[in-house]
Structure 1
Amino acid sequence: MGTNSHGVKQNLEHPIKVWELNQSRLALMHQKLAETPRILSRSAGRNTCCIFKVPQSLIDINGRSYQPHVVSIGPYHHADPRLKMIEEHKWRFLGTLLHRTRSKGLVLEDYLKAVYPLEIKSRECYSTEVPYDSDEFLEMLVLDGCFVIELFRKFGGVTAFESDDPLLSLSWVYAFFLRDLIRIENQIPFFVLECLFDLTRLPNEESGPSLRNLALRFFDNAFQRSDESLEKFEGLKAKHVLDFLRSSFIPDRYQEPTQSTYTNTNVIHCVTKLRRAGIQLKPGKEDSFLAIKFSRGIIEMPTIPIDDFMSAFLLNCVAYEQCHRACSKHMTTYATLLDCLINTSWDVEYLCDRNIIENYFGTDAEVARFINNLGKDVSFDIDMCYLSGLFNEVNNYYKNHWHVHWASFKYTYFRTPWSFISALAALVLLILTVFQTYFTVMPYFHPSS
């Protein structure tokens, strides 16, 4: 301790520290204030934005289901060294396409000129800032777009594969192409594909299949839909390939309501509890697995195959709907329905036995785990979803006590022959016991003369 000139004691061990402004830190703060977000750009909130980086919360649940495994399409995974093998074949496909369209007087520069007016519009489709200059971005759009179109043409029979083409001879490649072309992070705008498709269409192809028809044919083996049903999707609007395929499954009669007709809608119970309440599940006859009906205690659900492709398709559709503000939530609603119905492998087994699920995915337990992850951490307005009416009807039926008690009795005692025999034996034993008691007690009340 010490004293100053006025005799006031001072604490020399703890001097008062005067804060000084750090000019470099202040300059850095001003720089950050001036910067615009890049990882989630401002365009991500607009209706024009339709190609997204998937949130980390979904990646934590479903891993690499949203990222390409063999081929990159678009800027998010461009130049990934893991995907270099197919990247080389993109240039081969572009070369054969240029050779074929030379008869129209087209050269590579014409392709770039055709896409150039679409550059700004294309950049606005991505939720993150595209880290490529104009020339690189246009090159990528042309290279990736022509590769997708040529795949559709070759597998659609419009253009022949070369006899020794490794992409045809290696059977595993097609399966990976199917899955990679429907991943949300692996898309380019559909209007770019349309521009390049129209540009490279030869005169003898004018009466041939359209781009939409070829796209549906490419995925036909995976979806297992009839060729007759493909024609009705010609006028369907699309933002990219995933959006087009997703929209093709939404039936006209199952659109989301424009205003809520229900309040306080709740999800339904699992298969096991519904069966105990007398509610049955049967396979529906509609083309789309989204077309679900409920009437007189019976839920009709069209058959859906669960395999590696369909699992990737459902996961990416749900992620797309979660990210796109102007998108309906049909797949999210369907995923929630499956998540409600399935709690255990026993629920999956029952749905497989009823031909509602065709399991090519793995064990029943693996399917149950996939379905539960599919419906995890998703959000939507249940009062405004396309199944809100069905949810309310099923719950009202479930709450009918007469139905529940009678169905529970039948489920407990008449589900199998052994349970029925046990119940019948117990009933006979009860009747015999009553008769024995009766004949034992009666002499005391009515003694014989």
Structure 2
Amino acid sequence: MAADWVIEINKEGKRSEDETSTRVECQWKKRSIYKLPACVTDLNKNAYRPQVVSFGPYHHGEEHLMPMEEHKKRALVNFLKRTKMPLQIIFDNLTKVVQDLKDSYDVLSDVWQSDTERFLRLMVLDGCFMLEVLYYYAKMNFKDLGYSDEKIDSFRYDPSDPIFCAKRMLHVMNYIRRDMLLLENQLPMQVLIELVAGICPEKENAQDFVNKLTCCWFTKSTGPDTGECLHVLDIFRKGVRRVPLSHTDGQREHATHVHDDSVHHDSHIIVSAMEIQEAGIRFKVCKNEGVPEISFKDGVLHLPLLCVDDTTESVFLNLIAFERLHVGAGNEVTSYFYFMNGIINSVEDVVLLQSHGVIHNALKSHKAVIELFKLLGKDIMFEPNKTICSVLQGINEYRNKPWVQYREKFAHAYHLSTQWNPWAYISIIFAILLFTLTLVQTAYTISPYYHPNK
């Protein structure tokens, strides 16, 4: 048995040097849409599963999603009529890159691998429906997107349409938006680019046009220049993080690599929002929303605005999963929630951040916000980016200043006194006494310098 195993391993070693191995490694690099392992989905299975519509093969055919398939067909017909794009040409163009499309999926069953025509039908049907949804929401912003009046007028659905009408938009579209940001529910960007190539405004790059449509749908603006993206979730992630592309993906840096050995431990210490305030540090909302806008300077901690609602958990769990699984994705979103999970430990922390406009809470209670951040911060490895490390180090160096420590002790004691704690008054007295003795000691120490004769 041992000899057989040795022979098998030796064969594997030889295979690793041939073209087959090279092709497999090339396929690994093309993967961008992942089937999530149980260790990830166990946090909250429903957060990763679509509720009303499937995009792509992973959830196609699930019973609760089947009602939307008829609407997809109607959207496809309207899309072809409006764009005047021959379906056969679309098929022919996608056939040229079909292997790349298949390789975009981490796990693809034999049914989809072997039946190329069925796979392409799925890409076209789901891709057209996704674009129709994006068009529908963005049609109020067509001037910004470079649309002509003729194309605006051509985008019309019946006022009683069960999906594309104003009344249904308030209900159904919110579920579709949520499903469109699930990692397992993505379409390769090549599909959307091919479909939109013949209809985007003149002198407009197809990728940029898809990016604008997506940002308009999710952020109510045309968004920043996100460059090349892998799928809609990737567009959203780059739009949320709002960092220059030169910071680029893949720059994962451990805290121990960012700082020298003498100070790197300071980048691991996170205290609560209340403790940060007690040290005299002020909170201020960033002008531009975005995860990586966290910064600390001159006693002011700048944080991005975060609107917390029923979709926040699902959206950010999928973003964190993408950063965890996709090599080169970066970790801005993960680092942000690591930081926020550290400073939110109590209802008082939530109230404080909400009073400064850092958090807009649309959930039932403040405790629900705490539970949300605990869930999002669960099982996250300490691997913050350079920005977060710099902020943590700056906060802790600021808090270690003697006068800041005295202030923090006094503020903490005062906070306790507001809760009618008798021991708090004693703490305040001792804090004042300690501060006074420190001043007296300092005065006696420097006095001989100014009065040497005495």
Amino acid at match of 1:250: R
Q: 1:261 aligns with which of 251, 258, 263?
A: 258
Q: CA deviation at 1:57?
A: 1.9
Residues 255 and 267 of structure 1: is their aligned pair in 2 closer, same or farther, counting only changes over 3 Å?
Answer: farther
Contact 2:32 2:105 in 1 (8 A): yes
Contact 2:413 2:425 in 1 (8 A): no
* Structure 2 unaligned residues grouped into runs of 5+: 13-22, 140-151, 434-454
What is the rounded CA distance, in whole Å, between the counterparts of 1:299 and 1:122 in structure 2?
Answer: 44
What pairs with 1:286-305 in structure 2 (closer than 5 Å)?
286-305=288-307
What pairs with 1:2-401 in structure 2 (closer than 5 Å)?
46-102=28-84, 106-130=85-109, 131-132=111-112, 133-157=115-139, 158=152, 159-167=155-163, 168=165, 169-170=167-168, 171-199=170-198, 201=199, 205-206=201-202, 210-221=209-220, 227=221, 230=222, 232-233=224-225, 236-252=227-243, 255=247, 260-263=257-260, 264=264, 265-379=267-381, 381-382=383-384, 384-401=385-402
TM-score, scaled relative to structure 1: 0.76
Residues 342 and 249 of structure 1: is their aligned pair in 2 closer, same or farther, counting only changes over 3 Å?
Answer: same
What is the rounded CA distance, in whole Å, between the counterparts of 2:410 and 2:272 in structure 1?
Answer: 18
Q: CA deviation at 1:243?
A: 0.3
Amino acid at match of 1:188: L
What is the rounded CA distance, in whole Å, between the counterparts of 1:267 and 1:317 in structure 2?
Answer: 25
Q: Percent identity?
A: 25
Residues 418 and 150 of structure 1: is their aligned pair in 2 closer, same or farther, counting only changes over 3 Å?
Answer: closer
Q: Deviations over 1:369-426 (max 9, x none)?
A: 01111011123533x44311111111222233431222221332278879799959x9
Residues 276 and 287 of structure 1: is their aligned pair in 2 closer, same or farther, counting only changes over 3 Å?
Answer: closer
Contact 2:189 2:229 in 1 (8 A): yes
Amino acid at match of 1:308: D
Q: Secondary structure at the match of 1:305?
A: strand
Q: Secondary structure at the match of 1:290?
A: helix
Residues 345 and 42 of structure 1: is their aligned pair in 2 closer, same or farther, counting only changes over 3 Å?
Answer: farther
Residues 369 and 313 of structure 1: is their aligned pair in 2 closer, same or farther, counting only changes over 3 Å?
Answer: same
Amino acid at match of 1:48: K
Amino acid at match of 1:220: T
What is the rounded CA distance, in whole Å, between the counterparts of 1:410 and 1:420 in structure 2?
Answer: 14
Residues 145 and 99 of structure 1: is their aligned pair in 2 closer, same or farther, counting only changes over 3 Å?
Answer: same
Q: Deviations over 1:267-298 (max 9, x none)?
A: 41121332333333222223324301112222
Amino acid at match of 2:236: L
Residues 154 and 284 of structure 1: is their aligned pair in 2 closer, same or farther, counting only changes over 3 Å?
Answer: closer
Residues 418 and 349 of structure 1: is their aligned pair in 2 closer, same or farther, counting only changes over 3 Å?
Answer: closer
**Aligned-residue RMSD, C-alpha:** 3.4
Residues 281 and 45 of structure 1: is their aligned pair in 2 closer, same or farther, counting only changes over 3 Å?
Answer: farther
What is the rounded CA distance, in whole Å, between the counterparts of 2:40 and 2:73 in structure 1?
Answer: 34
Contact 1:73 1:186 in 2 (8 A): yes
Greater fraction helix: 2
Contact 2:54 2:65 in 1 (8 A): yes
Q: Secondary structure at the match of 2:334?
A: helix
Q: Deviations over 1:324-375 (max 9, x none)?
A: 0111000000010111011122211211111100001221111110111101
Contact 1:348 1:368 in 2 (8 A): yes
Contact 1:91 1:143 in 2 (8 A): yes
Amino acid at match of 1:76: Y
What is the rounded CA distance, in whole Å, between the counterparts of 1:57 and 1:258 in structure 2?
Answer: 22
1:38 corresponds to: none
What is the rounded CA distance, in whole Å, between the counterparts of 2:75 and 2:419 in structure 1?
Answer: 65
Contact 2:273 2:343 in 1 (8 A): yes
Q: CA deviation at 1:249?
A: 2.4
Residues 58 and 385 of structure 1: is their aligned pair in 2 closer, same or farther, counting only changes over 3 Å?
Answer: farther
Which one has the largest radius of gyration?
A: 1
TM-score, scaled relative to structure 2: 0.75
Q: Deviations over 1:128-153 (max 9, x none)?
A: 12441201111110111111111111
Amino acid at match of 1:243: D
Q: Secondary structure at the match of 2:268?
A: coil
What is the rounded CA distance, in whole Å, between the counterparts of 2:310 and 2:24 in structure 1?
Answer: 34
Q: Deviations over 1:223-245 (max 9, x none)?
A: xxxx4xx3642x62110000011
| Worse-superposed segment, 397-406 or 135-144 | 397-406
Contact 1:281 1:354 in 2 (8 A): yes
Q: CA deviation at 1:192?
A: 1.2
1:17 corresponds to: none
1:434 corresponds to: none
Contact 2:31 2:104 in 1 (8 A): yes
